[in-house]
Amino acid sequence: MISLELESFAYDDGAVLADIAFSLGAGERALVVGASGSGKSTLARVLAGQLDAGQGHRFVGTLSVAGEQLVFAGSGSDPRIDPAAWAQHVGYVGQRAHAHLSMVCASVAEEIAFGLANRGVPAERMHVLVDLAAARLGLTDLLERDPRRISGGELQRVAIAAAVVGNPAVLVLDEPFKGLDVAGRRDLESLLAALGESGTAILLFEPMLPRDAGPATRVLVLSGGSMVPVDQDVPGSDDLGRYGVGVEGVAANSAPLAHAVGEDRIPAIRIRDLSFGYGAEPVLSVADLAVSSGEAVAVLGPNGSGKSTLLQHLNGLLRPEAGRVQLYGEDLRGRPVGSLASTVGHLFQDTDQQLFEHTVLREVAYGPRAAGRSRKEAERCALQALAAVGLADAVHHHPHDLSFRDRRLVALASLMATGPRLWVLDEPTVGLDLRGREVLSGLLRRHIRDGGILMMATHDEVFAQAVCSRMFRLGAAAAAG
Amino acid sequence: MRFRRRILNPLTELTIAGLLVVLVLVVDDWRFSLAVLLLLVLPAAATSGRAVHIAVAFGVLAGPMLMFLLLLHGLFYPEGERVLLDLGPAAVTAEGLLFALEMGTRVAAFTGLLLTAALSLEVSELLETLTHRGWNRKLVYVLGSALGLAPLVADRAAQITRAQQARGLVVTRSPLSKLRALVMVGRPLIAGLLTDAADRSRTLDARGFAGTGPRTSYRADTDTAAQRAVRWGLLAVVVVFTSWWYVGRHT
Amino acid sequence: MNSSLTLPSGTAAPSTRRILLIAGAVVIAATYLYLVLVQPAEIAGGAGTPAGLTTLLGFLGGGALLVAGILPGLNTQAVVLMPVGIALNISFGQLAGTLGLPIYLDALGTVLIGVLAGPAAGAATGVLSNAIWGLFNPFALPFAAGSAVIGLLAGLAARWGMFRRLYLVPVAGLLTGVVGGLLAAPVAAFMFGAAGTMGTNAIVAAFRAMGDTLLVAATKQGLTSDTIDKLIIFTVVALIVYALPRRTRNAFTFVRRHRVLLGASSGDSGSRDESAAERK
């Protein structure tokens, strides 16, 4: 079906991948796990045939698909892959599903049909193929929706449907479960299983090993750009940890926290009778919530239950339609968001939209500078925060040139640099690898121990149990909390 | 009373609006411009189902232009001879007021025609028609994608601003603070859009966008042979009329 | 090696596209010359002159010919960038308006695409941007030719290495603004009676009070506003592209091949495979 013998693959700025070889037959499934920065996404793109010498990379190796073998010597006379022909055999969906949208299609059906239309497939045949792909991915009810305005889980399925509508033999998915809640994961998992049964070979890339990876799934471990041998029978052995790969649902260090809950007269956070909605639709209502210093609260609930909405009320990014939000006894009404930055640190769900400076140091020093500190003082705070997250040697890099884990840690450092007492983290563990989780949980524990407060929205109950002292569930029934 | 005008294909509507703009420019008479505005644009806008939307856009765009035209030419028109009111460096002249009237009605007709056509059309239907008519797929893509992206750019800019505010950005009312905020938002916004575009171009290549054969459309063609004939016919009429107006009329 | 999975190497550009490009440039230049040389005497006469029609058809039609000549030769990367530039033009243009800034900023996307994807893509972005924005703001429509020239000049400035030396960037912006201002003036004068924003109107009124004809007043105003606007836009674009992550920056074939930016890796591996995107 597909096989790869990769000797080396390098960008202009150094070797990225070396010594990788595997092949995958019809209906087989393989899972490539590796820490952030181990080269997973690069490998996924190689398999997706995204090798354009004009983009400045050099590939030495052999790639075979559908009985054809392409040999690359890293020279100008290498074969140039026809991306359209390649995609007929190998479907690919990258990490950022929204960037896979064509942006011209007004309905999900047209989005799925976009590739067929480009090849001039007649309309009747297109309808048949689109209906089939939609049925396989559970999208039949969404066909008329605008693909630019659907939820993350739905978007992921649309991107996969668009990749498999031409029925490719191989499907390559880079972290397809990122950001999905339990139900969304389960749905996607069963859809992939059905695809596999119908003969599609599936190659998944994940930062953590899922606990329920079936025995039929082959596990390949990537570390430092190369494939390393691991004991197939004992997933979750120390072997994996050595390569920076953790097993999902296993807490990093689950020693229970001794919570020194402050005996404050006034709770740090106090929410009364809060309600909020986008348009006419109510999204969130919270009757009463009080959090004191030294408390760590996990906000749990399925996608769309209002977790992010609640967190954004804590620094005035959203304003309640009714009810009150108080911090240390003071009502937030009328306080500009910017003036709260040294009290409340907010880590957004989408890290990449949070980073806006062009060096790590400037990024982290932005908060203290905005709070009025001198440049020197701000940089001192920034370096201290960067050292705490273990990125002291990345100060002059562009944040977006770092790996995903490091980008999230930079965002966390930029929050820490202003020294807020209250940390508000929106899904901080999504897509994070073992090391990222360890650093994060260490920092959270230290913050609580020092009397800080944590409000964290998450789907990861195991992580929440390990770090938080209290669970606050949102959702239809538990909204009153 | 609201009812959606759904008689003509968007391409036909745009063609008619464009040809009327040409006629307004050819005839170049404030009475004709005013007649087009009142007898064609007004009823078309009123029955489009988006009358309020069109009226607001028209007010925002054409309103200030009309006011400026009146002030500019009403007060400063050195070619004018019939002075109605002398104000030192400025002077109200009859010729200036007439010129402001000419320009004002023309600008209003021009704006009204195009806005009514554009704001009442459904973009996806226009794209589908262009595809069925065999227009260049790259042109159709740029048109559709730009219109799809524009609102998302605004959403994204708002999100970045929120992230920056959460880190302590406070925008004051001074223009300098606003310009700084603009650059602060612009940098990550554009970096994000360009990264997405790079991913998207690979996706499009994988989905055969670089192909050169005719593209098909998932949606059925809402255009008709009759409307095609009408479009070409109207174009011919306007061309003939224009040549007669400039050349034939005087001989 | 012959395979169904690979592309044939080398494609030649047909000469029909060159004819379209030349025709477009000629139409735009002829329209401008006609307006400047023939019309000024007649403007006071008002009705009965084809000035407005010539402006619209000449500049829009010339722009359309340019797009017809450019578009088939662009690769997917450039085609995908163009809507981004257009959306940025619209957003920043509107933002500058609502923030009450004394500049337009509505060519920011055009200049950005010119710098990242080359003069041809820049020119096409300029024309299509005004055509598309023109659907919702008809005043943008007849300025299409001016926008094409701005995108073209931005791309040429990038190709000639003016973005490698930061002190040359404002100079390039200034020169582009002069050309842009000259091209925009007849449109403003003959289509819209030189009405614009509060600031530009004050400038036109001042020149008119000194006895200038409308076209001359509009030209002087264009030279003042456009030079400042383009100077700021070029500088902002330079600040933005230099702040891009290295990998994003290096992904642009044009930037790599012509070493548009300082410190960007030279196109040694890019130029080896010229045919990858080189379709002129």
User: Given A57, A86, A400, which is nearest C5 (Cβ)?
Assistant: A86
Judged by a CB distance cut-off of 8 A, whether residue C251 touches chain A is yes
Tokens of A348: 């957004």
User: Given B98, B194, B205, which is nearest C84 (Cβ)?
Assistant: B194
pLDDT of residue A233: 55
User: Given A54, A75, A400, which is nearest C270 (Cβ)?
Assistant: A54
B-chain residues near A371 (CB < 8 A): 168
Q: What is the pLDDT of residues B172-222, one digit of tens each?
A: 777 777 777 778 888 889 988 998 998 899 999 999 998 888 899 998 888
| C1 within domain boundaries | no
Tokens of A335: 């306080």
Average pLDDT on A75-104 reads 88
Do both B29 and B114 map to the same domain? yes
Q: Determine, for residues C276 and A358 on separate chains, whether the beta-carbon distance falls below 8 Å.
A: no
| C8 within domain boundaries | no
C-alpha B119/C-alpha B126 separation (Å) is 12
User: Given A49, A99, A414, which is nearest B199 (Cβ)?
Assistant: A99
What DSSP string describes A102-142?
-S--SSHHHHHHHHHHHTT--HHHHHHHHHHHHHHTT-GGG
Q: Determine, for residues B207 and A84 on separate chains, whether the beta-carbon distance falls below 8 Å.
A: yes
Which pTM does this prediction carry? 0.89
Distance from CA of A36 to the nearest CA of B (A): 19
Torsion sign (Cα): A10, A15, A16, A20: positive
**Beta carbons within 10 angstroms of residue A68's beta carbon:** 15
What's the CA angle centered on C25, arms C24 and C27, to 5 degrees? Answer: 65
Q: What is the pLDDT of residues C120-165, one digit of tens each?
A: 999 999 999 999 988 878 778 888 999 999 999 999 999 999 999 8
CB-based burial of residue A171 (10 Å sphere; 0-12 exposed, 13-18 middle, 19+ buried)? Answer: buried
**How far is residue B106 from each of residues B95, B102, B139, B230, C133, measured CA to CA in Å?**
16, 6, 30, 25, 20
Domain containing B107 equals: 10-121+224-250
What's the CA angle centered on C258, arms C257 and C259, to 5 degrees? Answer: 95
Position B92 pLDDT exceeds 50: yes
**Beta carbons within 10 angstroms of residue C133's beta carbon:** 25
C-alpha A315/C-alpha A294 separation (Å) is 19
**CATH number of the A269-480 domain:** 3.40.50.300
Do both B229 and B201 map to the same domain? no
Judged by a CB distance cut-off of 8 A, whether residue C14 touches chain B is no
Distance from CA of B104 to the nearest CA of C (A): 8
| B130 within domain boundaries | no
Q: Determine, for residues C208 and B69 on separate chains, whether the beta-carbon distance falls below 8 Å.
A: no
Domain containing C148 equals: 15-186+226-276
Order of strands across the sheet with A90-93?
A: A90-93, A170-174, A201-206, A29-34, A217-223, A226-228
Do both B30 and B105 map to the same domain? yes
* A254 neighbors A72 (Cβ within 8 angstroms): no
Angle between helices C108-117 and B175-206 (to 10 degrees): 50
**How far is residue A12 from each of residues A34, C266, C270, measured CA to CA in Å?**
23, 10, 10
Average pLDDT on B117-134 reads 90
**Residue whose entry in the numeric block shows the structure tokens 């009442």:** B120
Determine the residue type at A6: L
> Which residue in B68, B207, B243 has the most chain C C-beta atoms within 10 A of its own C-beta, making it the best mutation to test that interface?
B68
Contacts for A87 with CB less than 8 Å, ≥ 6 apart = A48, A49, A115, A163, A166, A168, B206, B207, B208
Please state, rounded to an integer, the average pLDDT across all residues of chain A. 86
**How far is residue B9 from each of residues A105, A210, B117, B129, C230, measured CA to CA in Å?**
19, 52, 11, 8, 39
**Beta carbons within 10 angstroms of residue A390's beta carbon:** 17
Interface contacts (A, B; CB < 8 Å): 157
Do both B104 and B165 map to the same domain? no
Average pLDDT on A370-377 reads 91
Q: What is the DSSP letter of A453?
A: E
| C5 within domain boundaries | no
Q: Determine, for residues B166 and A317 on separate chains, whether the beta-carbon distance falls below 8 Å.
A: yes
Residues in chain A: 481
> Which residue in C269, C272, C274, C275 has the most chain A C-beta atoms within 10 A of its own C-beta, making it the best mutation to test that interface?
C269
Q: Is A309 helix (H, G, I), strand (E, B) or coil?
A: helix
CATH code for the domain in which residue C77 is found: 1.10.1760
Angle between helices A123-136 and A152-164 (to 10 degrees): 130
Q: What is the Cα C34 distance to its own chain's centre? A: 21
Residue B139: what are its φ and ψ, rounded to 5°?
-65, -45
Q: State ipTM.
A: 0.87
C-alpha A9/C-alpha A27 separation (Å) is 27
Average pLDDT on A92-104 reads 89
> Which residue in A50, A89, A100, A103 has the most chain B C-beta atoms within 10 A of its own C-beta, making it the best mutation to test that interface?
A103
Interface contacts (B, C; CB < 8 Å): 196
B98 HSE (CA, 13 A, CB side): 16
What DSSP string describes A194-222?
HHHHTT-EEEEEESEE-TT--TTEEEEEE
Virtual torsion, Cα C72, C74, C80, C84, nearest 10 deg? -100
Contacts for B149 with CB less than 8 Å, ≥ 6 apart = A103, B193, C83, C84, C86, C87
Virtual torsion, Cα A15, A20, A26, A29, nearest 10 deg? -90
Farthest-apart Cα atoms in chain B, separation: 74
Contacts for C18 with CB less than 8 Å, ≥ 6 apart = C69
| C211 within domain boundaries | no
Judged by a CB distance cut-off of 8 A, whether residue A125 touches chain B is no
C-alpha A332/C-alpha C18 separation (Å) is 63
Where exactly does CATH 3.40.50.300 map onto chain A? 2-247, 269-480
Q: Determine, for residues C269 and A58 on separate chains, whether the beta-carbon distance falls below 8 Å.
A: yes
C-alpha A21/C-alpha A7 separation (Å) is 8
C-alpha C186/C-alpha C36 separation (Å) is 7
B-chain residues near C197 (CB < 8 A): 64
Do both B147 and B198 map to the same domain? yes
Position A322 pLDDT exceeds 70: yes
Domain A2-247: CATH architecture, name and number where available: 3-Layer(aba) Sandwich (3.40)
Share of chain A above pLDDT 90, in %: 45
| C90 within domain boundaries | yes
Overall domain count for chain B: 2
Q: How confident is the model at residue B68 (pLDDT cuts 50, 70, 90)?
A: confident
Residues in chain C: 280
| C200 within domain boundaries | no
Mean pLDDT comparison of A209-218, A343-352, C212-221, highest-scoring range: A343-352
| B216 within domain boundaries | no
Q: What is the pLDDT of residues C250-274, one digit of tens each?
A: 888 899 888 888 875 444 333 333 3
Average pLDDT on A79-108 reads 90
C-chain residues near B209 (CB < 8 A): 76, 79
Q: Determine, for residues C3 and A70 on separate chains, whether the beta-carbon distance falls below 8 Å.
A: yes
C-alpha C18/C-alpha C66 separation (Å) is 9
Do both B199 and B242 map to the same domain? no
Position A195 pLDDT exceeds 60: yes
| C129 within domain boundaries | yes
Do both B179 and B230 map to the same domain? no
Do both B163 and B112 map to the same domain? no
Contacts for C67 with CB less than 8 Å, ≥ 6 apart = B139, C124, C127, C128
C-chain residues near B148 (CB < 8 A): 83
| B215 within domain boundaries | no
| B126 within domain boundaries | no
The residue of chain B with its CA nearest to that of A400 is B191
Q: Determine, for residues B166 and A118 on separate chains, whether the beta-carbon distance falls below 8 Å.
A: no
Contacting subunits of C (3+ beta carbon pairs below 8 A): A, B
Q: What is the pLDDT of residues A15-55, one digit of tens each?
A: 689 999 989 998 899 999 999 889 999 999 999 988 765 66
End-to-end CA distance of chain A: 52
**Residue whose entry in the numeric block shows the structure tokens 């002829």:** C30
Run of H or E residues at C28: helix C15-38
The residue of chain B with its CA nearest to that of A124 is B218
Q: Determine, for residues C87 and B149 on separate chains, whether the beta-carbon distance falls below 8 Å.
A: yes
Position B142 pLDDT exceeds 80: yes
Do both B67 and B190 map to the same domain? no
Distance from CA of A337 to the nearest CA of B (A): 6
Distance from CA of B154 to the nearest CA of C (A): 7
> Which residue in B194, B199, B215, B241 has the most chain C C-beta atoms within 10 A of its own C-beta, making it the best mutation to test that interface?
B194
C-alpha C213/C-alpha C43 separation (Å) is 9
C-alpha C122/C-alpha C148 separation (Å) is 7
Overall domain count for chain C: 1
**Which residue positions in chain C have pLDDT lower than 50?**
1-2, 41-42, 44-47, 265-280
pLDDT of residue A479: 40
**How far is residue B28 from each of residues A85, A151, B93, B99, measured CA to CA in Å?**
56, 52, 21, 11
Tokens of C273: 């495979």
